Amino acid sequence: MSSPGDMRSAIELSRRTFHQVGVETSWSVCPQSATPRNECDLPPEGSYIRINVVSGKGLGGKLPHVIGWVPRTASAVHRYPVAYVSHTQVSISAYTLGPVSQVLASVIIHELSHLLGLDHAGAGVMHDPLQWRDVKEVAQGQAFTPSQAQQLHVGASRLSTILLARAE
């Protein structure tokens, strides 16, 4: 099991990675509970992307060997964009991929990028399956190609437009 420091480091690496390509993010870490609004300062419902880092056997036991997953209906153009990351699989993968915080960040970045419109690629953070060199590139600030960075801008601006329309 990783430490709270691993989560903080993963979030900071994720934030920095998106910042490097001009996509600004703001992060809130909320403990799992039945009423997260009571324990966490979140923006209005429907105005944010949610990344659920779950423990246990894979993603709800349904996908035991999957490290991260975005439901088909959960892109940024849907009402509640959400992705899932299996902390258990991240911890297992860290034995061969690198430090837990870097693997966790890489998976979070990968899944968030799916929500913003990126598909899998032959290398880098969007490579499937994730490999040690992909994690190393993320840690070195080389997560995205210029084309992927442009796609992230389009996805982020589309998300902003959708969220603004919902707020009216």
CATH of the domain at 89: 3.40.390
Mean pLDDT, the chain, integer: 83
Residue 45 inside a domain? The answer is yes
Residue 157 inside a domain? The answer is yes
pLDDT of 141 over the 60 cut: yes
Residue 31 inside a domain? The answer is no
Give all strands (DSSP E) within the chain, no chain letters.
50-54, 68-69, 82-86
Residue 32 inside a domain? The answer is no
Q: What percent of the chain has pLDDT over 70?
A: 77
Residue 147 inside a domain? The answer is yes
Residue 13 inside a domain? The answer is yes
57-114 confidence digits (pLDDT tens):
555 555 557 888 888 765 555 566 888 899 889 999 999 999 999 999 999 999 999 9
Residue 85 inside a domain? The answer is yes
- What spatial distance separates the first Cα and last Cα of the chain, rounded to whole Å? 43
Higher pLDDT residue, 58 or 4? Answer: 4
Residue 33 inside a domain? The answer is no
Range of the domain at 142: 4-25+38-167
pLDDT of 145 over the 80 cut: yes
Average pLDDT rounded to a whole number, residues 22-31 = 87
Domain count, the chain: 1
125, exposed or middle or buried, with CB in 10 Å at 0-12, 13-18, 19+?
buried
